[in-house]
Amino acid sequence: MNNLYFDSAATTQVRSEVIEKMQEALSQFYGNPSSTHSFGRSAKSLIERARKTIAKQLNAQPSEIIFTSGGTEADNMILRCAVRDLGVKTIITAKTEHHAVLHTAEQLEKEYGITVKFVVLDPDGTPNLEYLEHLLKQGDEKKLVSLMHVNNEIGNLLPVEEVASICKANDALFHSDTVQSIGHFEWDVQKTPIDFMTAAAHKFHGPKGVGFAYIRKDSGLKPLIFGGEQERGFRAGTEPMHNIVGLEEAFVQGYSKMTEERAYVSDLKRYFIQEFSKAFPEGVFNGASGDMEKSTYTLVNVGLPISEEKAQILLFHLDINGVACSKGSACQSGSTGASHVLSAFMSSEALKRPALRFSFSHYNTKEEIDQVIRILSDFAKS
């Protein structure tokens, strides 16, 4: 049986170059980065090299990069500290955000009595920027806008430059969950006046358990985790140096090969759209995922014209045929209800169609897409 992996939005295959760098780090640079002897200094130098590498690519300062355990921790840290330390009284977000943002905002509402407001969504699920501006002009309290650059379920692209400009014009802070964006899109934090960003290495062919937060210099945020002086005193705890080295290598590989790999993966997505449309004339692309201009090149979210009975065993059927995809975020894999992202902007009638997310990487091929379409088509006809 062929293994057809189309779930790179959940996690990606680790590059061989990354594995080699991590093995080298684990075997040769095992000193504690906080130790002052040569073993510790060697480990520390690798961490600082990684910080400088990331900062240079983003046009940031090394001090603005804080290593974390991943995107969820970074999102939590930024939102929580913004309320605690910066006097944020209102968080403006969207119901299509990742739960790392939505649940954190909900918890902060309970703990601090802040207000959480949601932007109106356009018919394709993209936040409406006119309504965002309307919300920002209401009241003079300190506000933080949290909107993701690439939606992890439907792939919609947020016009971040425009959002950043709107926030700046209204004296609001801007945080973007860029977990699906970093490693796949170029960023320049000097041209885009963004205050906070988050990343996870395993979304761009690096290891799990490591990511980073971009926190603009002199933001005023204070530590959330206390203990040692790691990460310039901002995040205590012995650094997972081998993971950080892996993150750096994945980051370097991703950006050095981005033009070539983006062209290849974009072609795969176009091919999937073409072949799916042929096989399922009544099928739909949820959100803006079928539009190459309005969505990321890395995924599609499709609605299948099959019965509710068949829909109940669809993922099982795909799995036993070697196809890995998802009905939404991997973080919701135990949920039996409809995706909170799709539910935020689709009608109850549209939600009856089973939705699947297929996400691509440079490891996929058109032949694999042919196999997936055939498996789906045979299932629909059976």
Q: Where do the H-state alpha helices sit in the chain?
A: 16-28, 38-58, 71-86, 99-112, 129-136, 160-169, 241-256, 258-279, 308-311, 314-320, 340-343, 366-381
Q: Give residues with Cβ within 8 angstroms of 280, minimum separation 6.
A: 302, 304, 305, 376, 377, 380
Distance of CA 79 to the CA centre of its chain: 16
Dist. CA 14–CA 316, nearest whole Å = 25
Start-to-end C-alpha separation, the chain: 20
**Residues involved in catalysis:** 331
**What tokens does 315 get?**
């993922």
Q: Are strands 299-303 and 284-285 parallel, antiparallel or unpaired?
A: antiparallel
Q: Environment class of residue 116 by beta-carbon count within 10 Å: exposed (0-12), middle (13-18) or buried (19+)?
A: middle
DSSP 299-312: EEEEE----HHHHT
Q: What's the chain's length in residues?
A: 382
Q: Which of 169, 227, 163, 237 lies closest to 196, judged by CA?
A: 163
Q: Are 154 and 342 in contact (CB under 8 A)?
A: yes
Are 344 and 26 in contact by the 8 Å Cβ rule? The answer is no
Laid out side by side, the sheet with 143-146 consists of 65-68, 211-215, 196-200, 173-177, 143-146, 90-93, 115-118
Centre a 10 Å sphere on the Cβ of residue 168 and count the other Cβ atoms it contains: 14
Question: What secondary structure does DSSP assign to 211-246, as a single string?
Answer: EEEEE-TT-----SB-SS-TGGGTB-S---HHHHHH
- 379 membership: H or E segment, kind and range: helix 366-381
Q: Measuring CA to CA, which residue among 281, 377, 375, 380 is closest to residue 4? A: 375
d(CA 381, CA 376): 9
The rounded Cα 237 to chain-centroid distance in angstroms is: 24
